[in-house]
């Protein structure tokens, strides 16, 4: 009996040792303004681009929710909002889903060491889901010390109670180390990558920039002189004219009007570009640490952003919308061929791009499949391994992105996008001929069949907005 037990332990531990590590990198509020996605001609992102070039870049990847909380909850639980009832940032994940097992815990339960740093969940850590966290999982604050200007706002004056405190920007006269924040996150992650481990690891790196406020050390502003700054290529005057009422209401949330009135549009774009450039440098530190790591060849890398961001497109500033500017996100995956990844022993091919529509809710199923863990029962997360193996493989699936409430959602296929509002408003875009979604085709008789086809892709059942016992979350 004891001999059998020993053998079992030996087998289990050797199986665990052979399993691949996972480096899981989250970036906050990053739209397609990275070089390899071509979203803005002035952006500078050599490290995002080098990671993308070393594996598979998904060019039609969408978030499952158009803001932090629903997007991250879907990723970490494998449950989209229409299953969980969590649709917006005001709901508290653990009040709604007290028993949901998160991705890191699932990996821990299957022989992994799970650790993280920075923002992975929506402003909390969920200590029980992790073996370790930096700075301190027991404090439930995912952020290390970060430098902030003593007097705020710096550049965008407050317009009223409706305005989110963090909508502000400025270059800071500090070094990266003095700034702290993501620099400290990347430092800690780098240290975990360098040291020996007796179990395979699931290591989550949450970079907070380019989330607001757009304060970063001034060196990251230098490549973007103000006089050179251009709006993104999606901006078109009068673009909301063919958008239904609810879409217009969501779009015109006062921020863009206020920013224009203050003469701060260019400064905002400049500061977002600088914040992306900073995040890129922090990503570079993590990738460099991995390059030098004894675990380099046995570590799968996944990078995603929780949703995109508007900077004047459709007169909108922020997130929460059904348009591509908000819903389409960077997603890249690298599986080294040396890694012992049971789901993809041959690894990914460097320089691959995939245009199939995929959702971030699929990361759970993808990672368990790659690592040879049993598929988790009861979730709605499809493995993307067939696309990692062959990026042009047939893929008859569509993606749903929920907005802040049930029945406000967008559906993405490879060529078409459909937006539905609770009051019956609809939009339809052909993103091959109209990648910026300028021309709403929903009312055109020649597209009636396509409209019906897209409508039919909506989930048959949609969970109601689950009540959260707590007050409104203090942060967005």
Q: Applying CB under 5 A, which of residues 131, 132, 166, 242 lies at the interface with Ca ion?
A: 242
Q: How far is the CB of 69 from Ca ion (least distance, A)?
A: 9
Least distance (Å) between residue 394 CB and Ca ion: 32
Piece of the chain touching Ca ion by CB under 5 A; list 95-103, 122-130, 174-182, 300-308: 300-308
Given the complex with Ca ion, which of 148 and 438 has the nearer CB atom?
A: 438
Distance, CA of 394 to CA of 404 (rounded, Å) = 31
246 versus 306: smaller Cβ distance to Ca ion:
306
**Distances from the Cα of 420 to the Cαs of 83, 200, 241, 415, in angstroms?**
18, 43, 17, 17
- Interface pattern 68-97 for Ca ion (x via CB under 5 A): x-----------------------------
Q: Which of residues 29-68 bind Ca ion (CB under 5 A)?
A: 29, 68
Active site residues: 68, 122
Q: Are 187 and 118 in contact (CB under 8 A)?
A: no
Distance CA 354, CA 356 (A): 6
Does residue 229 contact residue 140 with C-beta atoms inside 8 Å?
no
Segment near Ca ion (CB under 5 A); pick from 27-35, 198-206, 335-343, 345-353: 27-35
Between 208 and 220, CB nearer to Ca ion: 208
Q: Which stretch binds Ca ion (CB under 5 A): 33-41, 101-109, 410-418, 438-446?
A: 438-446
**What is the distance between the alpha carbons of residues 136 and 212, in angstroms, rounded to a whole number?**
23
Q: Which stretch binds Ca ion (CB under 5 A): 89-97, 194-202, 305-313, 356-364?
A: 305-313
Between residues 105 and 122, which has the closer beta carbon with respect to Ca ion?
122
Residues 160 to 219 in contact with Ca ion, rule: CB under 5 A = none
* CA distance linking residue 453 with residue 440, whole number of Å: 16
Query: Per CB under 5 A, does 28 bind Ca ion?
Result: yes
CB of 157 to Ca ion, least distance (A): 24
> Minimum Å distance from CB 232 to Ca ion?
15
Residue 315 binds Ca ion (CB under 5 A) = no
- Residue nearer to Ca ion on the CB measure, 62 or 112: 62
Q: Among residues 243 and 399, whose Cβ is nearest to Ca ion? A: 243
Region class of 429: left (phi > 0), else alpha (psi between -120 and 50), else beta:
beta
Q: How far apart are CB 329 and Ca ion at their closest, in Å?
A: 10
Q: Name the closest residue to Ca ion (Cβ).
A: 68
Window of 257-265, 306-314, 330-338, 339-347 that interacts with Ca ion by CB under 5 A:
306-314
Q: Residue 134 forms beta bridges with which residues?
A: 117
What's phi and psi for 354, nearest 5 deg?
Answer: -130, 125
The crossing angle, in degrees rounded to 10, of helices 46-53 and 265-291 is 50
Contacts 24+ apart (CB under 8 A), 113-116: 113/197, 113/199, 113/200, 113/201, 113/202, 114/201, 114/202, 114/203, 114/204, 115/192, 115/201, 115/202, 115/203, 115/204, 116/142, 116/203, 116/204, 116/205, 116/206
Counting every residue written for the chain, the total comes to: 476
The answer to the question of residue 239 lying near Ca ion (CB under 5 A) is: yes
Q: 271-286 in b/e burial notation, b at 16+ Cβ within 10 A?
A: bbbbbbbbbbbbbbbb
Residues binding Ca ion: number (CB under 5 A): 7
Judged by CB under 5 A, the stretch of 25-33, 357-365, 377-385, 448-456 that binds Ca ion is 25-33
CB of 74 to Ca ion, least distance (A): 13
CA gap 117, 207 in Å, rounded:
9
Least separation in angstroms between residue 432's CB and Ca ion is 17
* Through-space distance between the first and last CA atoms of the chain, rounded to whole angstroms: 55
Q: Which of 64, 63, 72 is nearest to 94 (CA)?
A: 72
CA-nearest of 296, 373, 337, 289 to 104 is 373
Backbone dihedral angles phi then psi of residue 250, each to the nearest 5 degrees = -65, -40
14 vs 443 by CB, closer to Ca ion: 443
Instruction: State the Cα–Cα distance between residues 315 and 382, nearest whole angstrom.
Output: 35
In the complex with Ca ion, the residue whose CB is nearer, 81 or 388, is 81
Least separation, in Å, of the C-beta of 188 and Ca ion?
A: 21
Quickly list H helices, 54-131.
68-77, 81-84, 93-96, 103-109
Contacting residues toward Ca ion, per CB under 5 A: 28-29, 68, 239, 242, 306, 438
């Amino acid at each position: 009996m004891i001999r059998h037990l020993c053998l079992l332990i030996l087998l289990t531990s050797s199986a665990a040792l052979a399993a691949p590590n996972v480096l899981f990198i989250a970036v906050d509020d990053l739209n397609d303004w990275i070089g390899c996605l071509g979203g803005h001609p002035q952006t500078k992102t050599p490290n995002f681009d080098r990671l993308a070039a070393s594996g598979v870049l998904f060019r039609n990847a969408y978030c499952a929710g158009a803001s932090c909380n629903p997007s991250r909850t879907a990723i970490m639980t494998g449950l989209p909002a229409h299953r969980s009832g969590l649709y917006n940032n005001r709901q508290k994940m653990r009040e709604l889903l007290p028993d949901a097992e998160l991705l890191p815990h699932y990996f821990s339960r299957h022989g992994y060491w799970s650790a993280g740093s920075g923002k992975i969940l929506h402003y909390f850590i969920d200590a029980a889901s992790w073996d370790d966290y930096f700075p301190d999982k027991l404090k439930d604050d995912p952020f290390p010390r970060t430098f902030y200007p003593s007097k705020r706002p710096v550049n965008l004056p407050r317009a009223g109670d409706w305005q989110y405190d963090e909508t502000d920007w400025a270059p800071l006269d500090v070094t990266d180390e003095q700034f702290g924040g993501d620099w400290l996150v990347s430092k800690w992650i780098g240290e975990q990558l360098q040291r020996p481990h007796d179990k395979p690891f699931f290591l989550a790196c949450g970079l907070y920039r380019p989330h607001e406020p757009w304060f970063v050390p001034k060196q990251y502003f230098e490549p973007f002189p103000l006089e050179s700054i251009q709006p993104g290529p999606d901006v078109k005057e009068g673009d909301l004219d063919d958008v239904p009422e609810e879409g217009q209401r969501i779009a015109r949330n006062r921020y863009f009007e206020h920013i224009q009135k203050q003469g701060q549009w260019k400064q905002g774009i400049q500061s977002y570009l600088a914040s992306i450039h900073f995040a890129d440098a922090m990503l570079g530190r993590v990738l460099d640490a991995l390059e030098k790591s004894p675990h380099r060849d046995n570590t799968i890398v996944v990078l995603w952003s929780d949703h995109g961001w508007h900077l004047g497109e459709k007169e909108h500033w922020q997130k929460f919308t059904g348009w591509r500017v908000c819903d389409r996100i960077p997603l890249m995956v690298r599986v080294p061929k040396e890694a012992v990844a049971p789901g993809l022993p041959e690894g990914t091919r460097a320089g691959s791009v995939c245009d199939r529509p995929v959702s971030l809710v699929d990361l759970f199923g993808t990672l368990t499949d790659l690592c040879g863990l049993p598929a988790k029962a009861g979730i709605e997360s499809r493995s993307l391994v067939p696309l990692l193996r062959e990026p042009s493989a047939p893929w008859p699936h569509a993606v749903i992105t929920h907005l802040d409430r049930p029945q406000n959602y967008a559906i993405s296929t490879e060529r078409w996008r459909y937006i539905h509002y609770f009051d019956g408003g609809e939009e339809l875009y052909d993103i091959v001929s109209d990648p910026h979604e300028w021309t709403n085709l929903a009312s055109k008789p020649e597209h009636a069949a396509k409209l019906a086809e897209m409508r039919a892709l909506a989930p048959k059942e949609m969970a109601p907005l689950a009540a959260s016992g707590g007050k409104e979350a203090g942060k967005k």
